[in-house]
């Protein structure tokens, strides 16, 4: 796994957020805060060719939520 990643690395970002903030429910994080959290992750670099937008943030939040629930053993299928 490369040490560097950017906005299009949605799955990697979700994993990094889950590892760095294991007790934070992603559903409680607004997009502005989420954007700033991602920017603070070690190895994250902005790629001018792929700026962040709401769609990317939604995908990151959804992936992070999945990681969050998997770590807790939550069963969303019921």
pLDDT per residue as tens digits for the range 27-72: 999 999 999 999 999 999 999 999 999 999 999 999 999 999 998 8
* pLDDT score recorded for residue 74: 76
Q: Note the helical H segments in the chain.
A: 10-20, 31-39, 54-72
What phi and psi, each to the nearest 5 degrees, are found at residue 5?
Answer: -150, 165
Domains and CATH numbers, the chain: 10-52+59-72 (1.10.10.600)
**What confidence category does residue 78 fall into, taking pLDDT thresholds of 50, 70 and 90?**
very low
- CA dist 25 and 18 (Å) reads 9
pTM of the model: 0.89
Q: How far is CA 58 from CA 1, 2, 9, 73, 78, in A?
A: 23, 23, 13, 22, 24
């Amino acid at each position: 796994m490369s040490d560097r990643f950017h906005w299009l690395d949605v799955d990697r970002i979700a994993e990094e957020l889950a590892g760095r903030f294991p007790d934070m429910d992603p559903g409680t994080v607004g997009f502005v805060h989420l954007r700033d959290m991602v920017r603070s992750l070690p190895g994250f670099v902005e790629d001018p060719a792929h700026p962040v937008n709401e769609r990317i943030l939604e995908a990151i939040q959804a992936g992070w939520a999945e990681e969050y629930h998997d770590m807790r053993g939550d069963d969303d299928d019921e």
